[in-house]
Amino acid sequence: MTMLLTGATGKTGRYIAQSLAARGVRARVLLRDPAAAAWVAGLGMEPVIGDLSDPATLAAALAGVEQALLLAANSPAQVAMEKGFIDAAVAAGVRRIVKYSAISAGGDEDYRFARWHGETERHLFASGLDWSLVRPGYFMQNFLMSADSIRAEGRFYLPACEEPVSLVDVRDAADITVACLLDRAQDGRIRTVTGAESLTMHEVAGRMERALGRPIAYVPLPAEDFRAALTGAGAPDWLAGGMIEFFAGASRGTRDHLSGCVHRLLGREPIGLDRFLADHAGAFNP
């Protein structure tokens, strides 16, 4: 089955592409940047230049493709790009899409990233294509965005939230996505991917302190203070707003669900926070 991967050079997509390559799967990979073609070819996969924001570039990439991974970075243009890809896939005769989504999409959708993903999911359902959905929770890798302040100050700053949040390692979400790509028994299934525990941000700080061997503190910021700090550092306002909305939902107790998906589908325990911190200690240490 000819497979097309989108988003394969991003945080999760790289793991997906590498995992498929390790299994001997030879996919086609959509690239916006030709400079990444050598990396894709090194995996034994076929690079093809195209852009989700330009539907005219997708027909050639989708020619002869039977299934595709739809993985797009969050942005205000995300819904239009993903819907355009689904429409192009239908026109090209693609039979199946595995969509990489987000926790709470199709449910409460109480933060903008979930609403964006949910809108695309509903378009996919109406397309007539076979589908599988992967909805990961809050990534441990997001803490790497705070690596500078953890190194310099022993602190990380996030919107105020005292309730636990279910965390997941990107590598687990990638492995679940690979399982969905390789198993047609996953058609019509929604896989919500979490780790094995929910932790408050203060508990995360305690785990960091133990792993790094020095004091680490979580500093809860009021929403507008967090927005000012993030946008002042160059982040777009929509990203700050989405994170504020996510943690506001967590404060209402909506982010501590544990799905057990990794154990059921992969037959192993999820990667825990302690392993994540050990694997990335160099990023957090001075």
CATH number for the domain harbouring residue 83: 3.40.50.720
Same structural domain for residues 156 and 110? no
With respect to residue 180, please indicate whether it lies within any of the assigned structural domains.
no
Same structural domain for residues 157 and 109? no
With respect to residue 181, please indicate whether it lies within any of the assigned structural domains.
no
With respect to residue 220, please indicate whether it lies within any of the assigned structural domains.
yes
DSSP bridge partners of 217: 155
pLDDT of 232-275, one tens digit each?
A: 999 999 999 999 999 999 999 888 999 999 999 999 999 999 99
Residue 122 banded pLDDT, cuts 50, 70, 90: very high
CATH number for the domain harbouring residue 244: 3.90.25.10
Same structural domain for residues 124 and 159? no
* Average pLDDT score over the chain: 96
Residue 107 banded pLDDT, cuts 50, 70, 90: confident
Same structural domain for residues 35 and 125? yes
pLDDT value, residue 6: 98
pLDDT of 53-90, one tens digit each?
A: 999 999 999 999 999 999 999 999 999 999 999 999 99
How far is 227 from 196, CA to CA, in rounded Å?
A: 30
Residue 253 lies in domain: 141-165+196-257+271-284
Same structural domain for residues 202 and 231? yes
Q: Are strands 46-49 and 67-70 parallel, antiparallel or unpaired?
A: unpaired
C-beta neighbour count of 100 within 10 angstroms:
25
Same structural domain for residues 14 and 126? yes
With respect to residue 177, please indicate whether it lies within any of the assigned structural domains.
no
Same structural domain for residues 153 and 218? yes
Same structural domain for residues 106 and 221? no
pLDDT value, residue 108: 84
With respect to residue 87, please indicate whether it lies within any of the assigned structural domains.
yes
How far is 63 from 58, CA to CA, in rounded Å?
A: 9
With respect to residue 178, please indicate whether it lies within any of the assigned structural domains.
no
In this prediction, residues 145-156 reach a mean pLDDT of 97
With respect to residue 156, please indicate whether it lies within any of the assigned structural domains.
yes
pLDDT of 189-228, one tens digit each?
A: 999 999 999 999 999 999 999 999 999 999 999 999 999 9
Residue 170 banded pLDDT, cuts 50, 70, 90: very high
Same structural domain for residues 86 and 31? yes
How far is 181 from 175, CA to CA, in rounded Å?
A: 10
Those residues whose C-beta lies under 8 Å from the C-beta of residue 115, and which sit 6 or more positions away, are 105, 109
Express as a percent the part of the chain with pLDDT over 90: 96
Q: How many C-alpha atoms does 166 have within 13 Å on its Cβ side?
A: 21
Last residue in a domain, options 135, 154, 180: 135
Same structural domain for residues 158 and 243? yes
In this prediction, residues 140-165 reach a mean pLDDT of 97
Express as a percent the part of the chain with pLDDT over 70: 100
pLDDT value, residue 111: 96
With respect to residue 188, please indicate whether it lies within any of the assigned structural domains.
no
Residue owning tokens 């504020």: 244
pLDDT value, residue 253: 87
pTM of the full predicted structure?
A: 0.95
Same structural domain for residues 114 and 88? yes
Number of compact structural domains in the chain = 2
Same structural domain for residues 94 and 200? no
How far is 79 from 105, CA to CA, in rounded Å?
A: 13
Q: What share of the chain is helix, strand, coil (3-state, %, to 5)?
A: 50, 15, 35
